[in-house]
Amino acid sequence: MEAAGRGLRHVDFVHAVDAETTWLALLRGSAGYSGDFVADICRWTLAELLNSDSYGPRLPKMRRKPPLPARNYPGHWTSFLLDRSPLPTNPQAALDALAERLHGVLEAMNAADPNTGAGAEGILALVSGDRMYVVCRGIARVVRIRAGALETVLYEHSLGREAEAPSEGMPAHRQHIPVSMFGLASSPTSAVELTLAPGDRFVPLSGEALGAAEPALNQALLDPSGSALTQLLSELHEDSDQGFGTIGLQILGTAKA
| Segment holding 97, helix H or strand E | helix 91-112
pLDDT given for residue 197 in this prediction: 92
Burial class (CB in 10 A: 0-12, 13-18, 19+), 177: middle
Q: Could you report the per-residue pLDDT of 90-123, keeping only the tens digit for each?
A: 999 999 999 999 999 999 988 888 778 888 888 9
Tell me how long the chain is. 257
CATH number of 10-252: 3.60.40
Q: Mean pLDDT over residues 141-164, rounded?
A: 76
- Res. 235: pLDDT tops 70: yes
Task: Estimate the share of the chain in helix, then strand, then coil, as percent rounded to the nearest 5.
Answer: 25, 30, 45
Report yes or no: 169 and 237 within 8 Å, Cβ to Cβ. Answer: no
Question: pLDDT band at 163, cuts 50/70/90?
Answer: very low
- β-pairing, 131-137 vs 192-195, is antiparallel
Question: pLDDT band at 158, cuts 50/70/90?
Answer: low
> In sequence order, which ranges of 156-240 are alpha helices (DSSP H)?
214-221, 227-236
Question: pLDDT band at 226, cuts 50/70/90?
Answer: confident
Q: Could you report the per-residue pLDDT of 23-60, keeping only the tens digit for each?
A: 998 888 876 656 678 888 998 999 999 988 777 778 88
Domain-wise residue ranges, the chain? 10-252
Q: Could you report the per-residue pLDDT of 178-221, keeping only the tens digit for each?
A: 557 888 876 666 789 999 999 999 999 877 777 788 889 999 99
Q: Burial letters for 150-174: b for 16+ Cβ neighbours within 10 Å, e otherwise?
A: eeebbebebbeeeeeeeeeeeeeeb
